[in-house]
């Protein structure tokens, strides 16, 4: 059965591709809804990261202008800029997993067979998933530890700075699973040819 849906929400390279176990006429489970929910979640976080970068840049620019030209600045700008930088970086790290844009050294793997490379990529994404699990666990621990303290300038709970750790951990795990499934399917397809 031909895929009639376009996955334009989310990442460009997923368009017209079924990522999660989408099986149709054989009375098997269809995960289209999970895929749609994931795309909305991932797309929302991606847009939030883009907006965070722009807002952070504007805040720092305005603060520099105010401090150097008018000799007066806002007390909260550095704190908010730091918060946005942390959030932007961790969301960008999660997006880097699915886009496969993280640094990798291919000097040794380029000499291996396609099957060995596929196995190493699968192992790599299992380890990335474990790292995502650690981010979730320790992110929650840090949030609990800092929930009673506040940030000095904005008076926000300190946990606001760390709430992005479990969120990006979830996104990292989902992205690693999706890339692993894609790699396994590619390997099986190549074996079938």
For range 9-31, the mean pLDDT: 43
Give me the DSSP letters along 7-49: --SS-GGGTT---S----TTT----HHHHHHHHHHHHHHHHHH
Q: What is the reported pLDDT for 169? A: 93
Q: Any long-range contacts for 151-158 (C-beta under 8 Å, 24+ apart)?
A: 151/79, 151/83, 152/79, 153/75, 153/76, 153/78, 153/79, 154/76, 154/79, 154/80
Are the C-beta atoms of residues 51 and 84 closer than 8 Å to each other? no
pLDDT digits (tens, 9 = 90+) for 29-81: 455 666 777 788 778 888 988 999 999 999 999 999 999 998 888 889 999 99
Reported pTM: 0.73
Handedness of CA 151, 155, 158, 164 (dihedral sign): negative
pLDDT in tens, 129-181: 999 999 999 999 999 999 899 999 899 999 998 999 999 899 899 888 888 88
Instruction: Identify the band that residue 193 occupies on the pLDDT scale cut at 50, 70 and 90.
Output: low
Q: Within 10 Å of residue 56's Cβ, how many Cβ atoms?
A: 19
Element (H, E) at 101: none
pLDDT band at 109 (very low <50, low <70, confident <90, very high): confident
């Amino acid at each position: 059965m031909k895929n009639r849906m376009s996955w334009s929400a989310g990442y460009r390279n997923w368009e017209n591709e079924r990522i999660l176990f989408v099986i149709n006429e054989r009375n098997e489970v269809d995960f289209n809804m999970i895929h749609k929910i994931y795309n909305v979640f991932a797309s929302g976080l991606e847009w939030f990261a883009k907006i965070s970068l722009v807002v952070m840049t504007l805040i720092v620019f305005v603060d520099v202008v105010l401090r150097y030209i008018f000799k007066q600045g806002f007390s909260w700008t550095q704190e908010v800029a730091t918060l946005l930088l942390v959030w932007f970086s961790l969301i960008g790290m999660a997006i880097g997993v699915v886009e496969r844009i993280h640094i990798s050294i291919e000097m040794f793997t380029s000499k291996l067979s396609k099957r060995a490379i596929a196995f190493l990529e699968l192992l790599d994404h299992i380890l990335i998933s474990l790292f995502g699990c650690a981010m979730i666990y320790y992110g929650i621990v840090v949030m609990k530890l800092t929930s009673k303290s506040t940030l000095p300038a904005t008076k926000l709970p300190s946990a606001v700075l760390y709430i992005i750790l479990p969120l990006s951990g979830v996104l990292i795990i989902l992205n690693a699973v999706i890339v692993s499934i894609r790699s396994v399917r590619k390997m099986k397809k190549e074996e079938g040819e």
